[in-house]
Amino acid sequence: MSEKPLLFLDPFPRNQEMVFSESTEQVLRDLGRLVIHFGSRAPDELVEEILPEVEVIIGQTAMPKERLDRAPKLRAILNVKANWEPNIDYMEAHARGIHVLSAAPAMAPAVAEFCLGQAITLARGLQHADPLFRETQEAYGIGGNTKAYSLYNSTVGMVGYGNLGKSLVPLLRPFQPEILVHDPWLSEGYLNKEGLIPASLEEILAKSKFLFLLAGVTTENEGFLGRTLLESIPTEATVVLASRAEIVDFEAFVELAGQGRFRAAIDVFPEEPVSKDDPVRKTPNILFSSHLAGGIRASYARIQEMMLDDVGQILKGLPPLRMQRAEPNLAAKMRSR
């Protein structure tokens, strides 16, 4: 009987609780021989030791061409984070038929749910209602809703239509909004087929009562939502920033939102964790959270489920079905941290 395939688990910064339950471990041990490293990126000596025999890497192990050359049996790299690391030679892996996958689809449902909740909270002014009640300053009925508005039949703009957008749109549909999308990586025909309205960035910013900033950050788009564009957002519009802070001029975004120019929820920051004395913490009129959108137990359970499905497929010589495949030209442009 031939020896079981070698599976290497190197998931840092994911920890054991996130991606390695007892049932997951049992399935992986049934599929192959496991080498496991938690707590940090695996040391070079351990990686070099497993390269000649490894068939599946689960995690964020650096795999430039030189390491790919020393891994003749490698069939797949499964990134259990939600973005593309810049430490893989995507073109070379693709040329060798090595599957490079991301767990991003597993995180998207929770992020979409979070975005919807934040948007409704801001539009209805619920972030103010609780403290007013506690201070006996509340108003009832229409008196407390003078600045509230509804998501129903509104104009919604989405900057970026990847995993997050695809999970958010079904949640928005019951509200019967007009949904405008700007994504330079997608054709107008594709967006039309999805029941969406392709639009320029300028049009979306000017027209949307609800604006979801969902784009990833690449080597080409960092800070593309600068002050001038941000100033075109309608007064009192609701803006949810839940993908990557680097896509906006963050200082300008915080300044304008803090002035009450538009309503904003921010879940991501240029540097995390945010320093305790960062002045952003004292900015008024913004609904802050600390990168909470996707990181719930259900998301990590989905990561494990998808990962196990695809490892099983790959070891049978079949294509993976659940995780997101890397498109080499696009993945190489993504910026991660």
Inform me whether the pLDDT recorded for 330 exceeds 90. Answer: no
The DSSP call for residue 26 is: H
Report yes or no: 282 and 257 within 8 Å, Cβ to Cβ.
Answer: no
Peptide bond into 64 cis (omega under 30): no
Poorest-pLDDT segment among 28-37, 65-74, 151-160, 323-332: 323-332
The amino acid at residue 250 is F
Which of the two residues, 333 and 81, has the higher pLDDT score?
A: 81
Q: Which pLDDT tens digit goes with each residue over 263-286?
A: 999 999 999 999 999 999 999 999
Which residues on neighbouring strands pair with residue 41, listed in sequence order? none
Most distant CA pair in the chain, distance: 77
Report yes or no: 205 and 186 within 8 Å, Cβ to Cβ.
Answer: no
Q: Which pLDDT tens digit goes with each residue over 80-136?
A: 998 888 899 999 999 999 999 999 999 999 999 999 999 999 999 999 999 999 999
Instruction: Report the DSSP pairing between strands 99-102 and 324-325.
Output: antiparallel
Say what the pLDDT of residue 1 is: 54
Cα 160 to Cα 94, 99, 100, 140, 277, distances in angstroms? 25, 25, 22, 38, 32
Say what the pLDDT of residue 336 is: 59
Q: Which pLDDT tens digit goes with each residue over 227-256?
A: 999 999 999 999 999 999 999 999 999 999
Say what the pLDDT of residue 123 is: 98
> What percentage of the chain has pLDDT greater than the value 90?
91
Which residue's structure tokens are 């809703």?
145
Say what the pLDDT of residue 221 is: 85
pTM: 0.93
**How much is the average pLDDT of 325-329?**
89
> What percentage of the chain has pLDDT greater than the value 70?
98
- Quickly list DSSP for 53-106: TEEEEEE---B-HHHHHT-TT--EEEE-SSS--TTB-HHHHHHTT-EEEE-HHH
Q: Which domains, and CATH codes, for the chain?
A: 6-105+297-331 (3.40.50.720), 107-288 (3.40.50.720)
Determine how many CB atoms are found less than 10 A away from the CB of residue 312.
16
Say what the pLDDT of residue 331 is: 75
Q: Which pLDDT tens digit goes with each residue over 185-220?
A: 999 999 999 999 999 999 999 999 999 999 988 878
Say what the pLDDT of residue 52 is: 98
Say what the pLDDT of residue 218 is: 82
**How much is the average pLDDT of 163-183?**
97
SS3 of 218, please?
strand
* CA neighbor of 307 nearest in space, from 18, 70, 63: 18
HSE of 201 in the Cβ direction (CA atoms, 13 Å)? Answer: 17
Report yes or no: 337 and 102 within 8 Å, Cβ to Cβ.
Answer: no
Say what the pLDDT of residue 190 is: 98
How high does pLDDT run on average in the chain?
95
**How much is the average pLDDT of 321-331?**
89
**How much is the average pLDDT of 310-324?**
97
Burial classification of residue 99, based on how many CB atoms lie within 10 Å of its CB (0-12 exposed, 13-18 middle, 19 or more buried)? buried
